[in-house]
Amino acid sequence: MFRIFLFFLIFLTLSVAFAEEKVQVKDIRYYEIHNGIRVIIETTGFVEFTRGQLKNPERLFFDLKKVQLNKEIKKEFLINKHSLSKIRIGQFDLNTVRIVFDLLKSEYEFKIIQLEDPSRLVIDIYSVKDNASSLIDINNENDKKLKLIKKKIVIDPGHGGKDPGAIGPNGLMEKDVVLDIALKIREIMKDNPKYEIILTRANDTFIPLQERTEIANKNKADLFISIHANASLNNHARGIETYILNWTDDEEAIRVAARENAISVKKMKELKGEIGLMLASLEREAKREDSVKIAGYVHNSLVNRIKFSFSSNDNGLKQALFYVLVGAQMPSCLLEVSYISNPEEERLLADEKYRMKIAQAIAEGIDNYFEKSEKVKKVKYTNNFLIRADNKKSKNSTIGSKKL
Ligand SMILES: [Zn+2]
């Protein structure tokens, strides 16, 4: 009798623990974005997932672990657009929900991001142009450059609205500092006929991370630069650092990215496998070599100008997984212009003159980038195939000793 009771008790405890662990898929919806389809899967919590691909017919799927599907939701969506034929979702087994993308062709790109508050998975599926049309595009690109069509630069002041970003010991908010710097950059560059400056926000509004690069993609921008102020528990931490998108094992870089992504360091580490796959899938779109260049030009300009007028540490170029850069179809980087958590740098960030110096340095870095790469591209224009061959070399680029 006792044994039966004990068994029952254990079973009850296990099933309670089990039930508590399960996350629910509440809803699924989709909408069209530039060159693709965005699918939002609303969940009741953080989800572990794996990815798989199947051929004949071409399918991409994600298995969401320890997840239960709300039986009320629609389970199939006909798309027939942007490489995508159908989206299907179902309870694959007791613990797994599978979402399947039936594809029209094997050429496609995807990205997946998990966001909190409210919990959701965002999956984008993009069409990829075939070789013939991308060659035509390269021609058009060069034609445009020769005619000196304005370069579109998207400046993204981080945070905003309900999200203050980091807050300094004396109450200065990151969202206010970076907005002012972005407005100053626009002011400095607006009369330059070479550039068109687009801001992701020009006032104190909240914009979700994944919508920020979408603004740049829709505008077919040439550059995407996200501006932030850093924070650390160590209030002596100071200086300027510039990031490009990539996976990293550097604890400090993971911490910075976790804060900007508004997820925990633990969750950042859990993302590693899937994100690695996704970054590889986006390799062609990532324009990594150009991202390293723009990050380098802006970083050098910032360090030199700030060092000249105010003393500051050069913390160097780094890489980390920032959600806000995922999906950018143009060269991109993220700037941590100073530490708002350091009382001295907080005081500087509150100073109009300091913010103006930073804005001038960023504008100068952007200008240097286009001036220098313009010259290189004019030489290469004589042979389109040269440009394509050079793009492949970008895989060998390095930052410091790290392979990108
Ligand atoms: Zn930030």
Distance 124 CA to ligand 1 centre (A): 24
Spell out the alpha helix ranges (H) of 147-264: 174-189, 209-218, 251-261
Low-confidence ranges of the chain (pLDDT < 50): 1-19, 130-139, 143-147, 284, 376-404
Three-class DSSP category at 78: strand
Distance 320 CA to ligand 1 centre (A): 14
Distance 367 CA to ligand 1 centre (A): 24
Instruction: Report if residue 3 sits inside a domain.
Output: no
Distance 142 CA to ligand 1 centre (A): 35
Same domain for 270 and 385, yes or no, is yes
**Residues ≥6 apart with Cβ < 8 Å to 211:** 200
Distance 347 CA to ligand 1 centre (A): 17
**pLDDT of amino acid 16:** 41
Distance 337 CA to ligand 1 centre (A): 10
**pLDDT of amino acid 187:** 96
Distance 165 CA to ligand 1 centre (A): 5
**pLDDT of amino acid 278:** 60
Distance 230 CA to ligand 1 centre (A): 7
State how far the Cα of 192 lies from the Cα of 150, in Å rounded to an integer.
Answer: 9
Three-class DSSP category at 192: coil
State how far the Cα of 237 lies from the Cα of 315, in Å rounded to an integer.
Answer: 10
**pLDDT of amino acid 148:** 59
CATH number of the domain enclosing 151:
3.40.630.40
Same domain for 344 and 395, yes or no, is yes
Question: 0.75 cut: is pTM over it?
Answer: no
Nearest to 395 by CA among 322, 292, 320: 292
State how far the Cα of 338 lies from the Cα of 60, in Å rounded to an integer.
Answer: 41
State how far the Cα of 214 lies from the Cα of 333, in Å rounded to an integer.
Answer: 15
Give the range of the structural domain holding residue 327, as residue numbers without chain letter.
132-399
**pLDDT of amino acid 281:** 54
Distance 163 CA to ligand 1 centre (A): 9
Nearest to 198 by CA among 185, 207, 211: 185
User: How many domains is the chain built from?
Assistant: 2
CATH number of the domain enclosing 31:
2.60.40.3500
Distance 298 CA to ligand 1 centre (A): 18
**pLDDT of amino acid 189:** 95
CB 270 within 8 A of CB 276: no
What does the buried/exposed string (b/e) look like for 228-242 if buried means 16 or more CB atoms within 10 Å of the residue's CB?
bbbbbeebebbbbbb
Asked which of 71, 95, 128 is the last residue of a domain, the reply is 128
Distance 395 CA to ligand 1 centre (A): 28
State how far the Cα of 203 lies from the Cα of 393, in Å rounded to an integer.
Answer: 40
Model pLDDT for residues 339-374, shown as the tens digit of each residue: 999 999 999 999 999 999 999 999 999 999 998 865
- Residues near ligand 1 ion, CB 5 Å cutoff: 158, 165, 228, 260
Instruction: Report if residue 198 sits inside a domain.
Output: yes
Same domain for 144 and 108, yes or no, is no
**pLDDT of amino acid 403:** 30
Three-class DSSP category at 327: coil
Model pLDDT for residues 284-318, shown as the tens digit of each residue: 455 778 898 999 999 999 999 988 777 778 999 99
**Residues ≥6 apart with Cβ < 8 Å to 47:** 23, 64, 65, 66, 67, 114, 119, 121
Q: How far is CA 351 from CA 172, 186, 311, in A?
A: 11, 19, 14
Same domain for 267 and 235, yes or no, is yes
